[in-house]
Amino acid sequence: MKIQRRERAQDGTSGRRLLMAEAALAGAVALALFVREFPSLRRELRIYRMAGGLRAGHRYP
């Protein structure tokens, strides 16, 4: 009587799930950081526009 073993495909799914969970966690952290920094980015963009933006040229080194 032979002992039947499970197929190896089952082992790969847990690794794939772990990778997807890590990717989702990294995405959530990146999104939280962006949401937290968004007001200051908006303020910096307004200051940049008031200073002349790309058209300011050599006035502001």
Longest dimension (CA), the chain: 87
pLDDT (0 to 100) of residue 25: 98
Share of residues in the chain with pLDDT > 70 (%): 77
- Say whether pLDDT at 10 is over 70: no
The secondary structure of 27-48 as a DSSP string is: HHHHHHHHHHHHHHHHHHHHHH
Q: Do the beta carbons of residue 42 and residue 49 sit within 8 Å?
A: no
The more confident residue out of 12 and 39 is 39
Confidence of residue 61 (pLDDT cuts 50, 70, 90): low
Q: Residue ranges of the domains in the chain? A: 3-55
pTM over 0.75: no
The more confident residue out of 50 and 54 is 50
Whole-number Å distance between alpha carbons of 24 and 18: 10
